[in-house]
């Protein structure tokens, strides 16, 4: 079954969708689950071949229009390029760090500072190929990673939690999740980075949402797109 996907913005070159939690952006070569890629190819067949494929265990996986990605369990704004020119144009903006992204997250514990910047390169975890690591023990090439955060609300519950607005300045795999773990405030319901941390009642998904993105379209106009906070996260915050 293909998921229901909401289109947040569209012009002749660019498509922005509201990605639900629990669906991967593209196939991983192992799972047979439907992905955003399947939805794209069904609804926008002309996007086939736009962008760069991924090589997985010798097989080429098409990633039509995919310029950046969100983790499977993260919801929110996802930008897609509808043609090669748009793909190169958006890719350059990501590389030059001109694209502004804002996330919302609920994390474990009370974050002490009202705002802060985590500047800690990210490498691979020595113990689990699926995980990344910031700080001591990270293996392989360490890539620069900068994340800015601001406290929106602290929960005075028996188990403390904090609601954050997060602005990643770089785009590393799992960056926000890795940096929050590094601070000892992992994202709530993160089964990969914090499987033993307490969960929030009523929340069964990763408490991370891509709230907004700001980019230039091919006419040079600045476009800012927002995705509304998922009901399950909003309910917990209220």
- Active-site residues, by number, are 71
Residue pair 86/95 in contact by the 8 Å Cβ criterion: no
SS3 148: strand
Terminal C-alpha separation, the chain: 33
**Residues 188-195: contacts with CB within 8 Å, 24+ apart?**
188/105, 188/106, 188/107, 188/108, 188/161, 189/73, 192/130, 192/131, 193/131, 194/108
H or E segment and range at residue 13: none
Phi-psi region of 123 (alpha: psi -120 to 50; beta: other; left: phi over 0): beta
Closest CA to 198 of 150, 158, 146: 158
Other C-beta atoms lying within 10 Å of the C-beta of residue 52: 11
Q: How many helices (H) and strands (E) does the chain have?
A: 4, 14
């Amino acid at each position: 079954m293909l998921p229901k996907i909401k289109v947040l913005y569209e012009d002749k070159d660019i498509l922005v969708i509201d990605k639900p939690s629990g669906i991967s952006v593209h196939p991983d070569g192992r799972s047979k689950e439907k992905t955003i890629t399947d939805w794209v190819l069904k609804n926008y067949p002309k996007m086939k071949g736009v962008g760069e494929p991924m090589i997985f265990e010798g097989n080429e996986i098409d990633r039509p229009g995919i310029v950046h990605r969100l983790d499977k369990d993260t919801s929110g704004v996802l930008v897609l390029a509808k043609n090669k020119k748009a793909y190169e144009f958006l890719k350059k903006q990501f590389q030059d760090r001109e694209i502004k992204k804002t996330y919302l997250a609920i994390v474990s514990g009370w974050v002490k500072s009202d705002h802060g910047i985590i500047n800690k390169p990210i490498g691979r975890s020595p113990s689990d190929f699926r995980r990344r690591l910031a700080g001591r023990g990270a293996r392989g090439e360490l890539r620069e990673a900068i994340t800015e955060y601001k406290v929106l609300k602290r929960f005075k519950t028996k188990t403390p939690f904090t609601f954050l607005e997060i602005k990643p300045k770089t785009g590393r795999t799992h960056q926000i999740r890795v940096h929050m773990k590094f601070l000892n405030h992992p994202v709530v319901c993160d089964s990969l980075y914090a499987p033993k941390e307490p969960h929030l009642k009523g929340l069964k998904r990763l408490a991370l949402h891509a709230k907004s993105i700001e980019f230039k379209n091919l006419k040079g106009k600045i476009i800012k797109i927002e995705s509304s906070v998922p009901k399950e996260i909003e309910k917990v915050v209220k």
